[in-house]
Chains A and B, each alone.
Chain A
């Protein structure tokens, strides 16, 4: 039934109840609660944060004076901040390829029916629901030199314990391993969903052509999931840029700042040293980096879709 089918007798009644289809300021009431929270707690702090990044804060009486770009200049020559940028990029480089390759491998192996595969999928995804606190506790007692499981297993083979957390070359990889263990389930599930969208006819044709399994994988399966490939990669880049809890709880950013990511720098500068201006400037730089990644996502998915 369409609006045009109303009988003339009904129309005035409808208008009296305020239920007509056209524009009406009262309709804005539906969106008002959200918009209020959105403007107050996201838009306003976003711009205020930019303003704070231009202030120099006194750490003792918490007064602020306008300092233009002083904080940004300070960051550009701050070895700890620059180190945190380097660590963040390194961490993204360590984890994102692992998420894509292991996620895809698991998806290919577990894309089958039956109880075994269902249980295995549940196992690999299950760790994702744990909080970062639990995950880091688990991995602390894995890495613990002497008393951790890895040390215990190494000692069975007569090998010396490895001090993952206190080694500046192993701390960040240890955080990366923990992270991959924690949330490998998501890329796996995204790849599984994509694999199940591939039309069965394509595979039937491959069977008729007597194509080998490798050939089927390279010529049918992988080309069909290009879009998911791009989505997973960029989603993980954006997500791993925000590394925080694992680094804080496993390594405290150490040793020698070897595993301090940008967000941990922001947290420590802002909420431990109370240097709000500098912390805000660092958060704007992080925002910029992530916005670039998001833009990349937008254009890359559009290109993948156009194909």
Chain B
């Protein structure tokens, strides 16, 4: 990239900028490092002072305690079940609808598509009270279904897939249909494999959304055994200032944050593309 040199240059000024950004990055990591250090300190020591976090002794007792006594393993499993199945269902439903809107003709298609697009402007908070009532009437609160269903109604995935199907040249499916493939077969065998990049984008965004979602699980899952990891961890952090188990709480936070961080390290490029791409649409 010739132009990046043109902006960044190679002079003294450039080195200063880079040094500043590196120093700032250290500040950015500092809070996380602080929490990790605290998580390895004995609780009794932290009661007195946290200044000792930078020196030994360190212990893994907080971690073994979390594994043995806290709800984290169970909530973790809940989050995997909810985010995993919601992602799978979103991909199926959005792909079908994307193909339907991009490639088929049926009565009122255009009107319906415009309504779906308008749905993009509706924030969760505008529907959450009626939705909560609805799930109360259906007696669905404190079930996995209640945690998965609501955000499936978000039109974003359908919008993304429709755009993607539209970008595929029509010759490809017309050729398949001339070979006597049914519509569904054309969709399933011929077009769907071409949409894998879009599936990856939508899959990552959906998974991260469900994994980190807070408001709806907070009001729908009221029984601790139905908490997702996000709600569960939040439920343990009420009385912080007086907490006798600061190290324990920190170990819980580290364990809860670790999986998504590892996921990020492995799929960093795709996650950045997916999230940034989604925001500008």
A3 to B174, CA, bound (A): 7
A200/B2 contact (C-beta < 8 A), A25-B107, A131-B212, A132-B214 known: yes
B272 and A189 contact, CB distance less than 8 A? yes
A138 and B32 contact, CB distance less than 8 A? yes
B230 and A141 contact, CB distance less than 8 A? no
Q: Which 5 A-B pairs have the closest CB atoms?
A: A30-B100, A27-B104, A45-B130, A31-B100, A34-B97
Which residues, 98 to 139 on B, are CB-close (under 8 Å) to A? 99-101, 104-107, 109, 112, 115-116, 119, 121-134
A52/B133 contact (C-beta < 8 A), A106-B21, A141-B34, A147-B50 known: yes
A123/B276 contact (C-beta < 8 A), A2-B174, A24-B106 known: no
Closest A residue by C-beta to B79: A131
What residues on A are CB-neighbors of B260 within 8 Å? 129-131
A203 on interface, CB distance cutoff 8 Å = yes
A126 to B271, CA, bound (A): 10
CB 8 Å contact bits of A1-39 with B (1 = contact, 0 = none): 111001000100110011101111111111101110110
A89 on interface, CB distance cutoff 8 Å = no
A15 to B280, CA, bound (A): 41
Identify the B interface with A (CB < 8 A).
1-9, 13, 17-18, 20-22, 25, 28-32, 34-35, 38, 46, 49-51, 92-94, 96-97, 99-101, 104-107, 109, 112, 115-116, 119, 121-134, 149-150, 152-155, 158, 171, 174-175, 177-178, 180-183, 186-187, 208, 211-212, 214-215, 218-219, 229-231, 233-234, 237, 240-241, 246, 249-250, 253, 256-257, 260-261, 263-264, 268, 271-272, 275-276, 279-280
A125 to B268, CA, bound (A): 9
CB 8 Å contact bits of A267-295 with B (1 = contact, 0 = none): 10011000010011001101100110010
Partner among B22, B38, B208, B250 whose Cβ is within 8 Å of the Cβ of A120: B22
A2 to B171, CA, bound (A): 7
What residues on A are CB-neighbors of B218 within 8 Å? 267
Main secondary structure of the interface of A (DSSP, over half): helix
A29 to B99, CA, bound (A): 11
A109 and B21 contact, CB distance less than 8 A? yes
A108/B7 contact (C-beta < 8 A), A28-B100, A231-B280 known: yes
Main secondary structure of the interface of B (DSSP, over half): helix
Min CB distance A5 to B, Å, is 8
Identify the A interface with B (CB < 8 A).
1-3, 6, 10, 13-14, 17-19, 21-31, 33-35, 37-38, 40-46, 48-49, 52, 106, 108-113, 116, 120-134, 136-142, 144-145, 147-149, 152, 155, 181, 185-186, 189-190, 193, 195-196, 198, 200, 202-204, 206-207, 213, 216-217, 221, 228, 231, 235, 242, 244-245, 249, 263, 266-267, 270-271, 276, 279-280, 283-284, 286-287, 290-291, 294
